[in-house]
């Protein structure tokens, strides 16, 4: 019963924060695109309720349920927390229009389809650090792809020479692109650490030697794609729609690397 209440409160909190964000950006496009106190409080309370809904029965970190539905909810929680911390310092409040509704949907998915327990045995500090860094890498790159969508919207509105008032509150495209590549760079570094630790310490982390399977192949392809994007930015000045599309393609590879394989195993093949 308590989990149901906190789940509903988290969903309501995210949707309320989305509406408050719309009001803030639409009422005065000259306001700083950072969260007002009401928006920040709404997101913060939603995060607390979300965490309470995700972790109600966890007695210790060695028993985390990493089934597909639960994992989607946990990753969404990390993304929203990172978004709130970043939005206080960077002009990325408009990302709330994608981040918060998706988080609300993720809470619902995690509650309705928690899946059979699929525990990850965190038997050491190294394993815990690996999992936390992996979650942060995915969170930063998720914010990056959301930022890429925002760059696309901003560029299209400039070409069409008309936009909503809240779009006019956004920073210049150059600033948005700079923030985009900052997010990608941090996410790429964390993803690199995740892959290196997974390959080098697979036996200590997971109790078995590294296996070169579809999950590993897709993860490495995503890493190579992000590396190419950053290299193209530095050496060839990639920007605009080309960089946006490359970001989206790279993220799709990363999305398939984990959630795609989990969907096939748990939903299509009904394997834990």
Q: 242-253 pLDDT, tens per residue?
A: 999 999 999 999
CB 261 within 8 A of CB 222: no
Q: pLDDT higher for 141 or 160?
A: 141
In this prediction, residue 60 carries a pLDDT of 47
What is the rounded average pLDDT of the residues 118-140?
Answer: 73
SS3 string, 209-228, reads: CCCCCHHHHHHHHHHHHHHH
In this prediction, residue 59 carries a pLDDT of 46
In this prediction, residue 153 carries a pLDDT of 81
Average confidence score pLDDT of the chain? 80
In this prediction, residue 40 carries a pLDDT of 93
Phi, psi of 90, rounded to the nearest 5 degrees: -120, 150
In this prediction, residue 161 carries a pLDDT of 62
Residue 76 has pLDDT above 50, yes or no: yes
What does the CA dihedral 164, 167, 172, 174 come to, rounded to 10 degrees? -120
- CB count, 10 Å around CB of 71? 24
Dist CA 207 CA 186 (whole Å):
29
Q: How confident is the model at residue 104 (pLDDT cuts 50, 70, 90)?
A: very high
Least confident range of 45-49, 55-59, 153-157? 55-59
Dist CA 150 CA 257 (whole Å):
24
What is the rounded average pLDDT of the residues 183-203?
Answer: 86
Q: pLDDT higher for 110 or 142?
A: 142
Least confident range of 12-16, 113-117, 230-234, 252-256? 113-117
Residue 31 has pLDDT above 60, yes or no: no
Dist CA 93 CA 31 (whole Å):
11
In this prediction, residue 216 carries a pLDDT of 79
What does the CA dihedral 144, 149, 95, 179 come to, rounded to 10 degrees? 50
pTM value is 0.80
The set of residues, in sequence order, having a beta carbon less than 8 Å from that of 221 and lying 6+ positions away, is 253, 257
Q: pLDDT higher for 31 or 35?
A: 35
What is the rounded average pLDDT of the residues 98-111?
Answer: 90
Q: pLDDT higher for 230 or 153?
A: 230
């Amino acid at each position: 019963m308590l989990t149901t209440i906190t789940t509903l409160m988290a969903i309501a909190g995210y949707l309320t924060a989305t509406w408050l964000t719309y009001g803030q950006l639409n009422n005065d496009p000259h306001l700083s695109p950072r969260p007002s106190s009401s928006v920040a409080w709404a997101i913060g309370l939603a995060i607390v309720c979300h965490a309470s809904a995700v972790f109600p029965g966890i007695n210790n970190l060695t028993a985390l349920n990493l089934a597909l539905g639960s994992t989607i909810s946990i990753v969404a929680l990390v993304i929203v927390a990172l978004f709130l911390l970043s939005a206080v310092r960077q002009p990325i409040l408009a990302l709330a229009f994608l981040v918060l509704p998706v988080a609300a949907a993720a809470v619902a998915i995690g509650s309705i389809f928690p899946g059979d327990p699929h525990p990850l045995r965190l038997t050491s500090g190294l394993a815990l650090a690996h999992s936390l860094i992996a979650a942060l890498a995915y969170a930063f790159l998720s914010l990056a792809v959301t930022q890429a969508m925002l760059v696309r919207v901003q560029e299209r509105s400039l070409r069409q020479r008309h936009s909503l008032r809240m779009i006019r509150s956004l920073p210049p495209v150059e600033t948005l692109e700079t923030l985009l590549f900052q997010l990608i760079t941090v996410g790429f570094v964390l993803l690199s650490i995740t892959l290196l630790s997974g390959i080098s310490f697979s036996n200590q982390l997971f109790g078995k030697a590294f296996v070169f399977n579809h999950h590993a192949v897709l993860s490495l392809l995503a890493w190579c794609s992000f590396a190419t994007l950053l290299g193209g930015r530095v050496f060839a000045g990639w920007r605009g729609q080309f960089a946006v599309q490359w970001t989206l393609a790279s993220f799709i590879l990363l999305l398939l690397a984990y959630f795609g394989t989990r969907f096939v195993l748990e939903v299509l093949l009904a394997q834990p």
